[in-house]
Structure 1
Amino acid sequence: MIIPFGPAEAAAIAAGALAHGDVVPLWAAVLVVAAGMLGGDFATYAAAGPMLGRARRLRERRPHFSALLSILATRPLCSDVGLAALRFIPGARTPTALMAREFGTTRTHFCVIVGVGSLLWAGLWTGGGSALADGAVNLITR
């Protein structure tokens, strides 16, 4: 999870399946998955400085991208909800950290918002993995 480009969904589902097998409590699996996601997001946020040059050039070439950034930058609630909600779009994890850095989001604010998004995301995928494992066990035992 801490590697920003890793297969996070598969790892979260596996953690949920382990939680179903009473190896780990579900709440602990959710917390571990969320902590891994938050760690990866923070690492990306911290390393985003050099990558922002490319994003700035992209913004200059694509006016609709610039317009989106402008809208989000002027509406703090939209940017906060966007930071948390983008967690649910596959492949949006790294661009989210880059956008937060571009907006000037402080590290503390970024960690709080992305932490909430990570907990919600981890709960969904880990709970889904647990439910899948439960369904598979019920199917096999019938």
Structure 2
Amino acid sequence: MTALLLIGLVTIIPFGPVEAAAVTAGTLAHTGLVPLWVAVLPVAIGMLLGDYLVYAAAGPMLDRARPRWANRPRVAAMLSALVAKPLWRDVGVAGLRFVPGGRTPTALMARELRMTRTHFCVVAGAGSLLWAGVWTGGGSALAGGALTLLA
């Protein structure tokens, strides 16, 4: 159980090795120490907390950066298109975490698009659970395959 707490703490870091932590949690689940859903939870919660830290800190950073892109029509058009289509915005926030390096920019984008904290947490939480399930499940399957090869 201590290992799962450490994995959860590692995943809080927005630029941290989240994939390795998820695969390790899946390996622990495969050994039978914990059920798979118990291994998924600390990874998903850690990711959500890390995303929220970026979202909360993004305000001052975006206030400084906004004047640089305020006069760029392409950026303004993209932002207004995303605001006009909230379903696509939500799919982007939940789904872009599957793109390597997309987790932190997604939280910044959500803040710039004026998503409320509650809405962001719900959407990012759903994406975190899905992502953690895929990677932790993959780690469990990978461990099963490796143990079969060694036997």
Residue 76 (structure 1) aligns with: 86
Query: Matched residue pairs, number?
Result: 141
Give 1:68 deviation, angstroms: 2.3
Task: Report percent identity of matched pairs.
Answer: 67
Match of 1:22 among 27, 32, 41: 32
**Could you tell me which amino acid in structure 1 is paired with residue 108 of structure 2?**
L
Change (3 A) 1:57 1:139: farther
**Can you list the C-alpha shifts for 1:9-31, whole angstroms capped at 9, x where unaligned?**
11111111111111221101111
Partner of 2:46: 36
Q: Give the corresponding residue for 1:98.
A: 108
User: Which segments of 5 or more consecutive residues in structure 1 lack a partner in the other structure?
Assistant: none
Instruction: Report whether the alignment pairs 1:121 with 2:131.
Output: yes
**Cross-structure match for 2:55:** 45
Change in CA separation of 1:20 and 1:71 when aligned onto 2, cut-off 3 Å: same
- Secondary structure of 2:104's match? helix
Among 127, 132, 140, the residue aligned to 2:142: 132
Secondary structure at the aligned position of 2:12 is classed as: coil
Relative CO higher for 1 or 2, CA cutoff 8 Å, sep ≥ 6? 1
Q: CA separation in 2, counterparts of 1:135 and 1:62?
A: 51
SS at structure 2 position matched to 1:91: coil
CA–CA distance in 1 between the matches of 2:142 and 2:51?
27
Are 2:13 and 1:3 equivalent residues in the alignment? yes
* CA deviation map 1:78-117 (0-9, x unaligned): 1011110111111111111111111110000000000000
2 CA distance for matches of 1:118 and 1:59? 29
Of the candidates 20, 23, 28, which is equivalent to residue 13 of structure 1?
23
Distance 1:125 1:73 in 2: 30
TM-score of the aligned structures, taking structure 2 as reference length: 0.87
How far apart, in 1, do the equivalents of 2:46 and 2:139 lie? 17
